[in-house]
C-alpha cells in the first residue's frame, strides 16, 4: 500500500508517546509492523474505555503480534497531523494474496467525533482473532475471505472530540484541515472539488480501493441508527426526498437489510434519537439521497470507481456516547457485522484466462445483461460479482479477445456460483512472427535500414462489424433505439449528458474542453470500456456537431448516438465491439451560444450560425494558404488544444444545409474553385464513401432538388475546394497539424428542421454513423518500441512510401495509420534510433498490425570512445530519472500543476513591495533560499536575485543551474509578477509535494524578477502599447546595451547592464529563460542579424518546449493586433531576429560570453494589462515554467578527469563541432541538446582529444558520463617516440656538421695569417684600398639585391680602383 498525498511529519508529542510504548515499527507503507513482547494482561478487553491514538496503535500492534499466522497490521498512509491510518488484515495467510479469495473491508471513524465504530471495529478484530480455530463459523469466514479492518480513518478528528458529545458541538467531525472526509471523494456529478493536499486521508483510501479491488465494504458512522445505500446524491442535488437509484438498487437494498435485520434496534426503523424523534426508516434502511443529499461520499466512489459495493451503517444516536455504552453497542452490532461480511460470497465468481497459454487475464470487464454496471477482474484473473438469486447472461469482454457470453447462469440463495471464462485472442498465430499474420498475409519479409528483423505484422480481424460489412444483431435481440426525439437547448443537453454519464459510469466519461464566449461548457462525452484513459493500442475517434449554431441535426444525432451506444452496450454485438475497442469522443455542440439564438424552421438562414462574437468558427482555424486575420475564438482555441492533447485518428464534423460528405482540402493557394488534392486523397475518398454508401439518399448525389436543383455530388461525396473554397476550416487543420483525418458531413438540406422530422434523420444516419466509426480500424496500426527493453517510443515518425504525409506515435509508442487496401513500404524512425522499413499489405477486412522494434544508434566506430568507467545509477538517481520521465510523458506535468495549487492574490508590485516580498520569502524559507544583490540601478534601486536550492549560497557544480529573468523592459512587468509567484509556488510546495521537493533538491534556481526597477516605477497599468518605462532613467533600452567586446562599445554599460553581465559571466548556468511582453511567442538566439546559428536545432527545441506547454502559444496564433503581430507562427516559436533584429541583446551576450542558451518568452500581447488578468496569465505560464525546470535536467552531463581521478577544470566540451561549454569546479559539465544524435569532443591541454556520439531523448534525464583523459603522447601531431628519435638524430647530425665546419675554418685561418703579416708591413700603402674595397663590396651586394643596372660616377670610380 502506498501513500497518496504528502503527509506532515509526525508531531514530537505523538512520536514521544509512541516511543513510550516501546514499539518498534516502520512508517514505510504496507510493511509488517513488529512489537516487543506485550504482557498477557494487556490483551484483555474490558469494553469500558475509548482508545486514543497511542492506545489504539498499541492495541493493534499487540493483537498482530499475538496472531501473526492470520493477522498483519499495516498503514495505508497518514493523516494531516502525521498519524498512521492503521489497517488490520485478517485472513488465512496474511502475507500473500490468494487468487480467488474475495476482499472485504470495514472503515470506521470517518467522522472523528462518531466514535462507536472505532471501538466496535477493534472489538471485531479481537473477536475474529480469538475465535479463529474455536468457532467453525469464524474459522470458515477467515479462511475464505481476505478481511481488512480500518478502525479510524480520521484519527486527528478523534483526538479533538469529547466524550459525551452526542451532537458534535465540540468539533472533531472533520480532519485537521477542517475538511469533511465524506464530502471529499470525486463525485459522479460534480467531479473533484477539493484540494488533494487537504485530504491525505481520502487520497490514501482512494489509492487503497483502487489497488485492492474490494468486493464488499461497510462504512460505519454515528448520529442515528440506519443502513444507507447508494446513491448518496443526485444530479439535481435536491436536499432530500429524491430517490437516486443505482444499477444494483435491489442488491443494495438486500445488503442493507442483512445488516439492519440482524440489529435489534435498527430493524425496527425507529431509532428514537432525541434530536429527531419523528425520524423513521422503513425496515431500518434508506436510499442515501432520499434521506439527504451527500455529494462526494465514499460509498458512491466505491461503487462507481472501485469495483466494490459499499453501504453506510449509522450505529448510534449519540455520536460520542460515554464509554459505559460500548459493551451494549458491541452486543447490538456483532451479529450484523458478521452476517454482512458473509455476503461477500454470494452471486457469481470465477476466473478469466487466455486460451492459448492459460494465462490469467486482468482487467477483463464482466458484464451482466440488464445491469449497466460492470466490474473487472483482478491481477489473477479472478472476479466476484455479487448478485441476487436469479438467472443471468454474463459476458467477459477484453480488448484483443473475442468476447464470451455464458447464458442462463443460475444464482441461488447461498454460496456463489462459479463461472470461468476462457477468451480466444483475436490475433491468429502463425509460425515465424511474434504477433503473427493470418494465413491470408504473405510471409513476413521485412527490409530495414540497418536491421532486417525488427518489425512484425499481423491482421486483426474484428469478429463483428469489420470495415466494409455492416454487422447485424441476432433477430431475437434487436438494438434498442432512442426513446424520444426533440431539440435540446443548452440546459436540456447538459442534463441529458449528466444523466447518461451517471447511469453508465463504467463506459462513459463526461468532460469539458473549455467554454464558449458566453461561458457555456464545451462538453464531450467519452464512450469506451475504459473511458477515462487512453488505452495502448486502442484508437481515439471523435464526432463534433453544431459548429454552426443553426445547423442542429448533428447535435441531436450525436445525443441519439450516445443513448444508442449506452443502452445497447453488452447486449448488441456491434455496439459492444465498438465500445470495447474504440475510445469514442462525442461533442454534441461546439457552438452552444449560436444554438441558443437560432430558430426552429430555419431552412438556409444565418441567424445563430456564428458564435457570440459573430465569427464563423469554420473560418477561424489557421490555414495553410491564407492568413486568417480574425482573432482566434475561445471555442476554436479550446478545440485546437483538445486535438493536440489526444492522439485522435479519425473524426467527422457534422453540419447541415446539404447532403454530402466533404473531404480535404477545403481550399487552395489560388482561391479558386477546383479540386485541391491532399496526399491522402484516396483514403479520404474511401472514408467519405463509407458514410455516403450507408445513406442511400446521400449516395444518390441529388440531395436537395427543391432548394438546389443543379447540385450534384457523384457518390454523395465531394472534395471541399471543388465544391467551394473554405479558408480556415477545421478539417484541414486536423489533417495538417495532428494525426487525425477529418471529413465534414452535411446531414440534410434544412439547417434547423422541426422536431417531428428528427426520427427520420436518425433512421437515415444511424447506420452511417456506426459505419464511419468502424473505419478507424482500417489501415495499419502497431507499436514502435526500443528493441532493448520493449519500452514504447513516443513521437516516432511513421512514413508511408509515396504518400507525403507522416504521422507520429502516441506517448506509449502506439500508432494508427489509415490506408486504402494495397501493399506499402512503411518506415519508422525516431531520434537516436536506426530507422526500420518493412512492407504491409492492407486488406479490406480489418487492420494490419505492424510493430517496429528500433535499435539505438551506436557510436561511430572510428571515433575514440569516452574512456573510463561509466557510472551506474544508484536507487535515488533512478528514482529521479523516473520522475523526469513521468513529468515529460503523458499527463505527468498536468497532474503536478493540478496537485500544487497555491493561494494567491495577484497585483502589480512596485519596487518597495517587490523587495519586501523577496525578503519575506527568504525569511520564511531560509533553508532553501538566499537573497543576493547583483548591483543597483541608476536611481540606486537594488537588482535582486533570489536563489532557490536545498543548499543556497553553496556552489554545486554537479547540478544544473537555471536562470529566470524578467523586467528588462519596465513597461512589461507581467514577467516580474509571474516570477515572484513562481518563486512563492516553489517555496510553499517544498517539503509538501515530492516532485517539487526533488526538483529543488537537484537544481540550482536563480530568479531575477526585475532588471530595470527604475523603468518599472515609471510605467502605468492598463497601458498595452505605451513605451513609458521601457528604458532605464538614462533613456537606454537595456536589451541593446550588452556588448562583450570593447571595440563594439562606445560608452560604459549601464549599471543595470553591468550587474547582469557579471551574473552571466559566471558561466555556470545551463539554461536561461527571460520573460517579456507585447507578443505571444517564444524566441531563441540570435537577436542580431546572422545568417546561420550554431546549434539552432537545440535552441529552437528549448523554445518549443515552453511554447507547447502553454495553452495558447503553441497554437501559433498571436492575435496581437496592437503590434501588427497577426497570423500563424508555427508552434509559436521563432528566431529572435525574425521578430525584431537588434544588436546588444542580453540573449546574445548570454550565448557568446556566458556560454548559456537563453530563450525569451513574450507572455501576452498587452505590455501592462490590468491586474485582474494576472491570475489567467499565471495559469497559462505555470506549466511552461515548470517544464523548464524539468528540461534543464536533460541533454548530456558528466565529469572530466585524468587517470588518477583528478578533475580537470576548464576542459572544453565541443558540441557537434561548434558550440562549446567548459568544465566547472570538480570537472563537471552539462549541456542541453535537442533530442537526437550528437557528437561530443572533449579537449584539454596536455591530454588526448576524445570524441563520442551520444543520444539524447526528449523524455529522459541526461545520462551521466565520465571522461578520463590520457596524457597526450603526440608532438606536433606525431607520435612522441618518433619525434624523440627524430630529434636525437637531428642533434647528432648537427654536432657532426659543427665539427666539420670547425676543421675547415681552422685550415683557412692558417693560410690567412701570412697575408695579414704582409698587410701590417705595408699598412700605409693598403689602407685606402682596403677601405675602398670594403665599400665596393657592400655596394655590390645592394646592387645585386635590387637588380639596379645603372651606375653612378662614384660607383664607376670604385669599380676602376678595384
- Under the banding of pLDDT at 50, 70 and 90, the label for residue 870 is low
Q: What is the pLDDT of residue 2?
A: 36
Query: β-strand 1212-1215 against 1219-1222: which pairing, if any?
Result: antiparallel
Over residues 1131-1154, the pLDDT tens digits come to: 889 999 988 889 999 999 999 898
**Is a pLDDT exceeding 50 seen at residue 450?**
no
Over residues 985-1013, the pLDDT tens digits come to: 999 999 989 999 999 999 999 999 999 99
- Residue position matching grid coordinates 459522479: 188
Residues 6+ apart with CB under 8 A from 504: 372, 566, 569
- Under the banding of pLDDT at 50, 70 and 90, the label for residue 585 is very high
Is the CA virtual torsion 1127, 1133, 1135, 1141 positive or negative?
positive
Q: What is the pLDDT of residue 1268?
A: 83
- Under the banding of pLDDT at 50, 70 and 90, the label for residue 892 is confident
Q: What is the pLDDT of residue 29?
A: 38
In the chain, % of residues over pLDDT 90: 59
Q: What is the pLDDT of residue 21?
A: 46
C-alpha 769/C-alpha 300 separation (Å) is: 34
- Under the banding of pLDDT at 50, 70 and 90, the label for residue 1111 is confident
Catalytic one among 329, 535, 746, 947? 746
Q: What is the pLDDT of residue 1308?
A: 59
Outline where 804-890 has alpha helix (H): 875-888
Q: What is the pLDDT of residue 151?
A: 97
Q: What is the pLDDT of residue 67?
A: 94
Q: DSSP letter string over 1008-1067?
A: E--S-HHHHHH--TTBSS--TTSS-TTS--GGG----SGGG-SSPPPHHHHHHHHHHTT-
Tally helices (H) and strands (E) across the chain.
34, 52
User: 337 or 1050, which is more confident?
Assistant: 337
Bridge partners for 75 per DSSP: 86
User: 1268 or 23, which is more confident?
Assistant: 1268
C-alpha 855/C-alpha 848 separation (Å) is: 23
Q: What is the pLDDT of residue 422?
A: 92
Residue whose C-alpha is closest to residue 417's, from 507, 348, 489: 348
Q: DSSP letter string over 418-480?
A: E--EEEEESSPP-TT-TTPPPTTSPP-----SS-SS-EEEEEE--SSS-SSS-----TTSPPP
Q: What is the pLDDT of residue 1320?
A: 44
Q: What is the pLDDT of residue 1297?
A: 82
**Is a pLDDT exceeding 80 seen at residue 765?**
yes
Ranges 89-103, 416-430, 783-797: which has the least confidence: 416-430
How far, in Å, are 107, 666, 675, 1247 from residue 669 at the CA level?
A: 67, 11, 12, 59
Average pLDDT of span 58-79: 93
**Is a pLDDT exceeding 60 seen at residue 1319?**
no
Average pLDDT of span 323-344: 96
Bridge partners for 421 per DSSP: 352
Kindly report the average pLDDT of the chain as a whole number: 84
Q: What is the pLDDT of residue 1032?
A: 95
Residues 6+ apart with CB under 8 A from 1293: none
How far, in Å, are 181, 503, 1080 from residue 572 at the CA level?
A: 40, 18, 50
Residue whose C-alpha is closest to residue 1011's, from 1045, 1060, 1065: 1060
User: 615 or 571, which is more confident?
Assistant: 615
- Under the banding of pLDDT at 50, 70 and 90, the label for residue 434 is very low
Average pLDDT of span 1213-1228: 83
Catalytic residue check, 746: yes
**Is a pLDDT exceeding 80 seen at residue 1357?**
no
Over residues 913-963, the pLDDT tens digits come to: 999 999 999 999 999 999 999 999 999 999 999 999 999 988 888 899 999
Average pLDDT of span 843-866: 71
C-alpha 1111/C-alpha 688 separation (Å) is: 32
**Is a pLDDT exceeding 90 seen at residue 618?**
yes
Rg of the chain in Å (alpha carbons): 40
Over residues 804-823, the pLDDT tens digits come to: 999 999 988 999 999 999 99
User: 833 or 1279, which is more confident?
Assistant: 833
**Is a pLDDT exceeding 70 seen at residue 89?**
yes
User: 864 or 409, which is more confident?
Assistant: 409
C-alpha 716/C-alpha 954 separation (Å) is: 72
**Is a pLDDT exceeding 80 seen at residue 25?**
no
Q: What is the pLDDT of residue 429?
A: 35
Q: What is the pLDDT of residue 1284?
A: 59
Q: Which three cell numbers stand for residue 86?
A: 492503521
DSSP state of 1349: -
Over residues 1295-1311, the pLDDT tens digits come to: 888 778 877 766 655 55
**Is a pLDDT exceeding 80 seen at residue 496?**
yes
Bridge partners for 385 per DSSP: 348
Catalytic one among 314, 464, 742, 947? 314
Ranges 601-610, 871-880, 1020-1029, 1183-1192: which has the least confidence: 871-880
Outline where 460-552 has alpha helix (H): 490-503
- Under the banding of pLDDT at 50, 70 and 90, the label for residue 681 is very high
Over residues 622-657, the pLDDT tens digits come to: 988 888 888 889 999 999 989 988 999 999 999 999
**Is a pLDDT exceeding 90 seen at residue 1332?**
no
Q: Is the peptide bond before 8 cis (omega within 30 degrees of 0)?
A: no
Q: What is the pLDDT of residue 1260?
A: 86
Cβ atoms 300, 185 nearer than 8 A: yes
Over residues 118-158, the pLDDT tens digits come to: 999 999 999 999 999 999 999 999 999 999 999 999 999 99
Q: If DSSP states are collapsed to H, E and C, what string results for 810-821?
A: CCCCEEEECCCC
C-alpha 983/C-alpha 1075 separation (Å) is: 14
Q: What is the pLDDT of residue 427?
A: 44
Average pLDDT of span 427-437: 33
Is the CA virtual torsion 27, 28, 30, 32 positive or negative?
negative
Cβ atoms 942, 915 nearer than 8 A: yes
What 389-392 contacts at long range (C-beta under 8 Å, 24+ apart), as own/partner pairs, is 389/413, 392/348, 392/368
Residue whose C-alpha is closest to residue 71's, from 87, 90, 86, 92: 90
How far, in Å, are 336, 970, 1075, 1303 from residue 935 at the CA level?
A: 75, 17, 20, 75
How many beta carbons lie within 10 A of that of residue 261, not counting itself?
17
User: 875 or 675, which is more confident?
Assistant: 675
Average pLDDT of span 1188-1197: 93
**Is a pLDDT exceeding 70 seen at residue 764?**
yes
Q: Collapse the DSSP code of 210 into the 3-class scheme (helix H, G, I; strand E, B; otherwise coil) and give the result.
A: helix
Average pLDDT of span 899-919: 87
Q: What is the pLDDT of residue 1322?
A: 44
Catalytic residue check, 314: yes
- Under the banding of pLDDT at 50, 70 and 90, the label for residue 890 is low
Average pLDDT of span 484-494: 93
Amino acid at each position: 500500500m502506498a501513500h497518496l498525498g504528502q503527509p506532515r511529519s509526525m508531531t514530537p508529542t505523538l512520536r514521544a508517546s509512541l516511543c513510550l510504548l516501546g514499539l518498534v515499527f516502520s512508517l514505510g507503507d504496507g510493511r509488517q509492523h513488529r512489537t516487543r513482547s506485550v504482557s498477557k494482561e494487556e490483551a484483555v478487553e474490558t469494553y469500558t474505555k475509548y482508545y486514543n491514538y497511542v492506545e489504539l496503535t498499541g492495541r493493534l500492534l499487540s493483537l498482530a503480534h499475538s496472531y501473526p499466522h492470520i493477522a498483519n497490521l499495516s498503514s495505508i498512509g497518514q493523516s494531516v497531523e502525521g498519524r498512521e491510518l492503521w489497517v488490520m488484515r485478517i485472513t488465512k495467510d496474511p502475507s500473500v494474496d490468494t487468487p480467488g479469495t474475495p476482499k472485504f473491508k470495514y472503515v470506521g471513524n470517518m467522522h472523528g467525533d462518531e466514535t462507536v465504530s472505532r471501538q466496535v471495529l477493534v472489538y471485531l478484530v479481537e473477536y475474529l482473532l480469538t475465535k479463529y480455530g474455536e468457532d467453525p463459523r469464524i474459522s470458515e469466514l477467515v479462511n475464505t475471505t481476505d478481511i481488512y479492518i480500518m478502525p479510524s480513518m480520521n484519527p486527528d478528528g478523534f483526538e479533538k472530540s469529547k466524550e459525551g458529545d452526542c451532537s458534535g458541538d465540540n468539533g472533531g467531525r472533520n480532519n485537521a484541515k477542517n475538511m469533511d472526509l465524506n464530502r471529499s471523494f470525486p463525485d459522479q456529478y460534480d467531479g473533484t472539488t477539493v484540494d488533494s493536499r487537504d485530504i491525505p486521508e481520502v487520497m490514501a483510501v482512494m489509492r487503497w480501493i483502487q489497488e485492492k479491488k474490494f468486493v464488499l465494504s461497510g462504512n460505519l458512522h454515528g448520529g442515528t441508527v440506519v443502513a444507507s445505500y447508494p446513491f448518496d446524491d443526485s444530479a439535481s442535488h435536491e436536499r432530500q426526498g429524491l430517490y437516486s437509484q443505482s444499477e444494483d438498487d435491489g442488491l443494495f437494498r438486500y445488503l442493507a437489510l442483512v445488516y439492519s435485520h440482524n440489529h435489534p434496534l435498527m430493524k425496527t426503523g425507529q431509532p428514537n434519537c432525541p434530536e429527531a424523534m419523528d425520524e423513521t426508516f422503513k425496515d431500518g434502511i434508506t436510499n442515501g439521497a432520499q434521506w439527504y443529499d451527500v455529494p462526494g461520499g465514499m460509498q458512491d466512489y466505491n461503487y462507481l470507481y472501485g469495483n466494490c459495493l459499499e453501504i453506510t451503517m449509522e450505529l448510534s444516536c449519540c455520536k460520542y456516547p460515554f464509554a459505559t455504552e460500548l459493551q451494549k453497542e458491541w452486543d447490538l452490532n456483532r451479529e450484523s457485522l458478521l452476517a454482512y461480511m458473509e455476503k461477500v460470497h454470494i452471486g457469481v465468481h470465477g476466473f478469466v484466462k487466455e486460451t492459448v497459454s492459460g494465462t490469467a487475464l486482468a482487467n477483463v470487464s464482466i458484464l451482466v445483461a440488464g445491469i449497466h454496471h460492470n466490474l473487472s477482474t483482478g491481477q489473477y484473473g479472478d472476479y466476484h460479482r455479487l448478485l441476487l438469486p436469479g438467472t443471468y447472461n454474463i459476458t467477459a469482454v477484453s480488448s484483443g479477445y473475442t468476447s464470451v457470453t455464458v447464458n442462463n447462469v443460475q444464482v441461488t440463495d447461498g454460496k456463489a456460483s462459479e463461472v470461468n471464462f476462457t477468451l480466444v485472442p483475436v490475433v491468429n498465430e502463425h509460425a515465424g512472427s511474434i504477433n503473427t499474420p493470418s494465413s491470408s498475409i504473405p510471409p513476413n519479409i521485412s527490409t530495414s535500414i540497418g536491421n532486417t528483423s525488427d518489425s512484425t505484422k499481423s491482421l486483426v480481424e474484428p469478429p463483428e462489424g469489420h470495415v466494409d460489412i455492416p454487422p447485424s444483431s441476432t433477430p431475437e435481440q434487436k438494438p434498442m433505439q432512442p426513446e424520444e426525439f426533440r431539440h435540446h437547448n443548452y440546459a436540456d443537453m447538459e442534463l441529458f449528458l449528466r444523466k447518461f454519464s451517471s447511469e453508465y459510469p463504467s463506459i462513459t466519461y463526461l468532460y469539458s474542453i473549455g467554454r464558449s464566449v458566453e461561458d457555456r461548457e464545451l462538453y464531450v462525452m467519452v464512450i469506451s470500456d475504459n473511458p477515462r484513459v487512453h488505452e495502448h493500442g486502442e484508437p481515439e475517434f471523435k464526432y463534433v456537431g453544431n459548429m454552426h449554431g443553426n445547423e442542429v441535426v448533428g447535435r441531436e444525432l450525436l445525443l441519439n448516438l450516445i443513448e444508442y451506444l449506452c443502452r445497447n452496450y453488452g447486449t448488441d454485438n456491434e455496439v459492444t465491439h465498438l465500445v470495447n475497442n474504440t475510445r469514442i469522443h462525442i461533442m454534441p455542440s461546439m457552438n452552444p451560444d449560436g444554438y441558443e439564438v437560432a430558430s426552429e424552421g430555419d431552412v438556409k438562414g444565418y441567424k445563430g450560425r456564428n458564435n457570440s462574437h459573430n465569427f464563423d468558427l469554420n473560418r477561424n482555424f489557421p490555414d495553410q494558404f491564407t492568413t486568417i486575420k480574425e482573432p482566434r475564438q475561445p471555442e476554436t482555441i479550446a478545440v485546437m488544444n483538445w486535438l493536440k492533447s489526444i492522439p485522435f485518428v479519425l473524426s467527422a464534423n457534422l453540419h447541415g444545409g446539404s447532403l454530402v460528405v466533404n473531404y480535404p482540402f477545403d481550399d487552395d493557394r489560388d482561391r479558386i474553385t477546383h479540386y485541391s488534392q491532399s496526399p491522402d486523397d484516396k483514403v479520404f475518398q474511401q472514408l467519405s464513401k463509407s458514410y455516403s454508401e450507408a445513406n442511400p439518399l446521400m449516395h444518390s448525389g441529388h440531395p436537395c432538388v427543391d432548394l438546389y436543383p443543379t447540385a450534384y455530388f457523384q457518390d454523395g461525396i465531394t472534395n471541399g475546394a471543388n465544391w467551394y473554397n473554405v479558408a480556415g476550416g477545421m478539417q484541414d487543420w486536423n489533417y495538417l497539424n495532428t494525426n487525425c483525418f477529418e471529413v465534414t458531413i452535411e446531414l440534410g438540406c434544412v439547417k434547423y428542421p422541426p422536431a417531428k422530422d428528427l426520427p427520420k434523420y436518425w433512421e437515415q444516419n444511424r447506420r452511417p454513423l456506426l459505419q464511419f466509426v468502424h473505419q478507424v480500424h482500417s489501415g495499419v496500426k502497431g507499436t514502435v518500441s526500443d528493441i532493448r527493453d520493449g519500452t514504447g517510443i513516443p513521437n516516432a515518425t511513421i512514413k508511408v512510401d509515396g504518400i507525403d504525409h507522416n504521422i507520429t506515435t502516441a506517448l506509449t509508442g502506439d500508432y494508427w495509420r489509415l490506408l486504402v487496401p494495397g501493399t506499402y513500404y512503411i518506415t519508422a524512425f525516431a531520434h537516436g534510433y536506426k530507422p526500420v522499413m518493412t512492407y504491409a499489405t492492407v486488406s479490406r477486412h480489418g487492420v494490419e498490425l505492424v510493430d517496429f522494434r528500433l535499435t539505438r544508434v551506436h557510436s561511430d566506430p572510428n571515433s575514440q570512445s569516452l574512456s573510463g568507467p561509466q557510472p551506474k545509477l544508484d536507487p535515488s538517481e533512478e528514482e529521479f530519472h523516473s520522475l523526469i520521465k513521468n513529468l515529460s510523458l503523458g499527463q505527468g506535468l498536468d497532474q503536478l500543476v493540478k496537485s500544487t495549487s497555491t493561494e494567491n492574490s495577484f497585483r502589480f508590485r512596485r519596487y518597495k513591495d517587490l523587495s519586501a516580498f523577496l525578503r519575506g520569502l527568504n525569511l520564511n524559507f531560509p533553508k532553501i533560499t538566499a537573497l543576493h544583490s547583483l548591483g543597483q540601478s541608476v536611481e540606486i534601486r537594488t537588482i535582486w536575485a533570489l536563489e532557490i536550492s536545498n543548499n543556497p549560497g553553496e556552489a554545486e557544480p554537479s547540478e544544473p543551474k537555471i536562470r529566470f529573468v524578467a523586467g528588462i523592459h519596465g513597461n512589461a512587468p507581467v514577467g516580474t509578477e509571474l516570477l515572484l509567484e513562481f518563486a512563492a509556488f516553489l517555496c510553499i510546495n517544498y517539503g509538501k509535494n515530492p516532485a517539487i521537493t526533488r526538483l529543488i533538491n537537484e537544481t540550482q534556481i536563480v530568479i531575477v524578477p526585475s532588471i530595470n526597477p527604475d523603468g518599472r516605477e515609471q510605467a502605468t497599468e492598463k497601458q498595452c502599447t505605451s513605451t513609458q518605462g521601457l528604458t532605464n532613467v538614462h533613456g537606454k533600452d537595456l536589451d541593446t546595451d550588452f556588448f562583450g567586446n570593447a571595440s563594439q562599445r562606445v560608452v560604459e554599460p549601464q549599471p543595470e547592464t553591468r550587474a547582469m553581465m557579471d551574473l552571466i559571466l559566471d558561466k555556470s548556468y545551463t539554461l536561461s529563460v527571460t520573460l517579456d511582453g507585447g507578443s505571444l511567442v517564444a524566441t531563441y538566439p540570435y537577436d542580431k542579424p546572422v545568417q546561420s546559428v550554431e546549434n539552432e536545432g537545440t535552441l529552437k527545441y528549448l523554445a518549443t518546449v515552453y511554447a507547447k506547454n502553454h495553452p495558447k502559444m503553441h497554437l501559433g496564433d498571436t492575435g496581437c493586433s496592437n503590434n501588427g503581430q497577426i497570423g500563424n507562427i508555427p508552434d509559436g516559436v521563432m528566431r529572435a531576429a525574425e521578430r525584431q533584429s537588434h544588436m546588444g541583446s542580453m540573449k546574445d551576450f548570454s550565448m557568446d560570453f556566458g556560454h548559456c542558451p537563453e530563450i525569451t518568452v513574450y507572455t501576452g500581447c498587452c505590455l501592462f494589462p490590468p491586474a485582474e488578468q494576472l491570475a489567467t496569465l499565471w495559469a497559462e505560464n505555470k506549466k511552461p515554467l515548470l517544464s523548464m525546470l524539468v528540461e534543464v535536467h536533460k541533454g548530456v552531463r558528466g565529469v572530466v578527469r585524468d587517470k588518477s581521478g583528478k578533475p580537470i577544470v576548464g576542459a572544453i566540451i565541443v558540441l557537434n563541432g561548434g558550440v562549446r561549454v567548459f568544465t566547472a569546479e570538480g570537472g563537471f559539465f552539462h549541456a542541453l541538446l535537442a533530442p537526437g544524435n550528437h557528437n561530443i569532443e572533449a579537449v584539454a591541454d596536455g591530454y588526448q582529444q576524445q570524441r563520442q556520439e551520444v543520444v539524447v531523448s526528449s523524455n529522459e534525464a541526461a545520462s551521466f558520463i565520465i571522461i578520463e583523459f590520457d596524457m597526450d603522447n603526440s608532438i606536433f601531431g606525431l607520435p612522441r617516440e618518433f619525434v624523440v628519435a627524430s630529434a636525437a638524430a637531428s642533434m647528432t647530425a648537427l654536432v657532426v656538421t659543427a665539427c666539420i665546419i670547425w676543421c675547415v675554418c681552422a685550415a683557412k685561418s692558417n693560410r690567412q695569417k701570412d697575408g695579414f703579416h704582409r698587410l701590417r708591413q705595408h699598412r700605409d700603402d693598403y689602407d685606402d684600398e682596403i677601405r675602398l674595397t670594403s665599400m665596393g663590396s657592400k655596394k655590390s651586394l645592394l646592387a645585386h639585391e635590387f637588380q639596379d643596372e645603372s651606375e653612378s660616377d662614384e660607383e664607376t670610380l670604385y669599380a676602376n680602383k678595384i
